[in-house]
Amino acid sequence: MRIQNNMWKAVILIGGPDKGTRFRPLSLDVPKPIFPVAGIPMIQHHIEACSKVPEIKEVNLIGFFHYTEMLKSFITMAKQKYSLSIKYLSEYGPLGTAGGLYHFRDQILSGTPEAFFVFNSDVCCNFPLSDILHFHQSKNGDNRITIVATEATHSESMSYGCLVEDENTNEATHYVEKPETFVSSLINCGVYVFTPDVLRCYMAEVFRQHQEESLEMGMGDSNFPDAIKLETEILAGYAGSGKMFVYKTKEIWGQIKSAASAIHANKLYLSVYRRTKPEVLAKKNPDGPIIRGDVFIHESASVDPTAVLGPNVTLGENVEIGAGVRVSNSIVLSGAKLNDHCCVLNTIIGWKCKVGEWSRVEGTAQQPDPNAPYSKIISGQLFNEDGRLIPSITVLGREVDVAPEIIILNSIVLPNKNIHANSKNQIIL
């Protein structure tokens, strides 16, 4: 019998530079997992949630990014702020969503944790971790998985991993990743709990089979024979074994794949702040600026009292907002300057951009279907079947300078451009 202690860990799968392609050009400047949403890096939301669960003592980030200054300083900041042990475990290449877990099993299992959380980095959620932890503890079996799931609409579900649950026992009886025909409207949220034996036994067996296959077939079609896909190689096989359980959540949930979905996630996280820490949101104040709905303003930002901000706006560090400026449903990244009377709607304004006076930078927001209660936003395609840009939010890459009195509509502007002409539905290279 194994001695169980009450110590838990967490793993965040952060991917690497060849991931996050739908997030370009923003992911050219910063690894997508530390792109700020609602004022803090995407994975800081996960870490903050972990820091509120006393059992979680350590968070491991697994990925194949170079360990750059940016990543280092994020980890240093997060360690100090949350008093957690946080480590970066660097894969030698893309080992898939489960290969890194197996590769770093000794580090993950050191100190004999009772169980560990696994998170996809690109999910937005308010992470009810204590509840999930107690749910996992309430189930039996040394080698069990808890998988967090939420409802989607029938048509949207097919873009996700779909689960069938035995509602009496909460067992997952079936799992199919992105099925071609409808399986279930219950979808995988990319948040899991594993007991250590899943790594020691089941993953070890999957890994062994991989090794045998790659010996038989040479390297096969992958340069990384150690790569394992959690969804298709572990979860699909585990379903129906009586050892995988479904924790259903009705909390907010979304994926952050494209820039448009970052705007949506920004809105979801700001709505969570309103419930859990309203003090961080901008207050309405008769001396202005005018605040509509949820707005987050970094303490170093300067905003003219005649500006109108919101709903769903985040202003980063040292952002400057001029007189009469209007911003809604947008993220304005650090160092950007919005000059007097410009208007920014449904847009991500990149670091140190400048928007000229009376210019209008506008995108089209993608929203969940208002008539479908479980609708999510599908954060996918940039182009339709004809190769045309699907109208979406506007994104200005780093240090873009928009001249005064220009209109930019549903466009993606690559970094360091000077824009002197109007544009609509374009990618400006």
Residue ranges binding ligand GTP (CB under 6 A): 13-15, 19, 62-64, 91, 94-97, 100, 120-122, 231, 257
Least distance CB 219 / ligand GTP (angstroms):
17
Least distance CB 64 / ligand GTP (angstroms):
6
Give the tokens for residue 53.
């669960």
Give the tokens for residue 72.
């280092």
Of 96 and 356, which has the nearer Cβ to ligand GTP? 96
Least distance CB 160 / ligand GTP (angstroms):
7
Of 27 and 241, which has the nearer Cβ to ligand GTP? 27
Q: What angle do CA 267, 426, 124 make, to 5 degrees?
A: 20
Least distance CB 79 / ligand GTP (angstroms):
20
CA 292 to centroid of chain Cα atoms: 25
Least distance CB 74 / ligand GTP (angstroms):
15
Least distance CB 290 / ligand GTP (angstroms):
37
Of 290 and 390, which has the nearer Cβ to ligand GTP? 390
Inter-residue contact 196 to 112 (CB < 8 Å):
yes
Least distance CB 282 / ligand GTP (angstroms):
30
Give the tokens for residue 284.
């309405």
- Amino acid code (one letter) for 320: E
Burial class (CB in 10 A: 0-12, 13-18, 19+), 385: exposed
Rg (CA), the chain: 22
Inter-residue contact 98 to 11 (CB < 8 Å):
no
- Amino acid code (one letter) for 249: T
Of 103 and 360, which has the nearer Cβ to ligand GTP? 103
Of 358 and 374, which has the nearer Cβ to ligand GTP? 374
141 vs 151: CA distance, rounded Å: 26
Give the tokens for residue 360.
């209008």
Least distance CB 163 / ligand GTP (angstroms):
14
Of 65 and 296, which has the nearer Cβ to ligand GTP? 65
Give the tokens for residue 399.
């240090």
> What count of other Cβ atoms lies within 10 Å of the Cβ of residue 19?
21
251 vs 149: CA distance, rounded Å: 10
Per-residue DSSP letter, 238: H
132 vs 396: CA distance, rounded Å: 39
Least distance CB 143 / ligand GTP (angstroms):
22
The residue ranges of DSSP E strands in 56-133, in sequence order, are 56-63, 85-90, 115-120, 123-125
275 vs 362: CA distance, rounded Å: 29
Residue number, nearest CB to ligand GTP = 15
Give the tokens for residue 231.
């969804």
Of 35 and 296, which has the nearer Cβ to ligand GTP? 35
Burial class (CB in 10 A: 0-12, 13-18, 19+), 198: buried
Of 377 and 419, which has the nearer Cβ to ligand GTP? 377
Least distance CB 9 / ligand GTP (angstroms):
15
Is residue 12 helix, strand or coil? strand
Of 114 and 231, which has the nearer Cβ to ligand GTP? 231
Of 19 and 337, which has the nearer Cβ to ligand GTP? 19
